[in-house]
Structure 1
């Protein structure tokens, strides 16, 4: 998935949770990504965010601490 599309999807989740009570917003973003994004998407999210959080909504950046970072898969062969 392109980095722009992944940023867009993460930001869309943040937009949805913006209507929730403030204390539930970041938790909701992290919970949604943990439940519905496969490990490859979460890996890519962290690869992008570790380089720069530019383009991510602040709620997504705040949620990164609660999103499960997948363990790197061992190289085949």
Structure 2
């Protein structure tokens, strides 16, 4: 998986949910969207990018959403 493409896609999701008035709910919704619609390999690759590069180029809300909900998005999420 191309990390820059995954980052771009995750940021697009973040752009959509960032307009929500409740930031906590927006972060939950970002993580839920990634879990429901992204293949487990995509989620693992994005988590690896965060581990390797500290979430470089991810929007703040997306990085916060992923870090707060990492267990839901991790390897076990796809099994």
The TM-score bracket by the shorter chain reads: 0.7 to 0.9
- The secondary structure found in structure 1 opposite 2:75 is coil
Match of 1:74 in 2: none
CA RMSD for the aligned pairs?
A: 1.2
Count of equivalent residues = 71
TM-score (normalised: structure 1)? 0.84
TM-score, normalisation: structure 2: 0.82
| Structure 1 segments of 4+ aligned residues over 4 angstroms from their partners | none
Aligned with 1:4: secondary structure?
helix
Query: Which consecutive residues of structure 2, in runs of 5 or more, have no partner in the other structure?
Result: none
Greater Rg by CA: 1
Task: Pick the structure with more helix per residue.
Answer: 2
